[in-house]
Amino acid sequence: MLTNEAYRPINCDDYDNLELACQKSWTLSLELKNGEQLNARATDMVSRKNVEFLAIDLSGEVRELRLDHIASFTHPELGTVVVSESD
């Protein structure tokens, strides 16, 4: 996915679930819209230049995922959440 495409905010409930995952340092199973699948610990929510990111720890490597590039995420406390755009 292009990183210079217009950012599309995600649904507030989905954002809140990701924020909770960061607060509890949960490991999430993430599927990105490009098909990439990751198992990583959620560490922080970051906003930069009106684009929101989920910071993850992927086996010691820190990555930031644009929220609008996440297709879904799964955790036993949340079930599977299909990320939708904000209304």
Say whether 23 sits in a helix, a strand or coil: helix
CB-count exposure of residue 30 (10 Å: 0-12, 13-18, 19+)? buried
- 50-83 confidence digits (pLDDT tens): 999 999 999 999 999 999 999 999 999 999 999 9
- 13-49 confidence digits (pLDDT tens): 999 999 999 999 999 999 999 999 999 999 999 999 9
**Widest pairwise Cα distance in the chain:** 35
Token pair for residue 27? 């490991």
What separation in angstroms does the CA of 10 have from each of 61, 63, 81?
25, 19, 12
Query: Rounded to whole angstroms, how far apart are CA atoms 54 and 73?
Result: 12
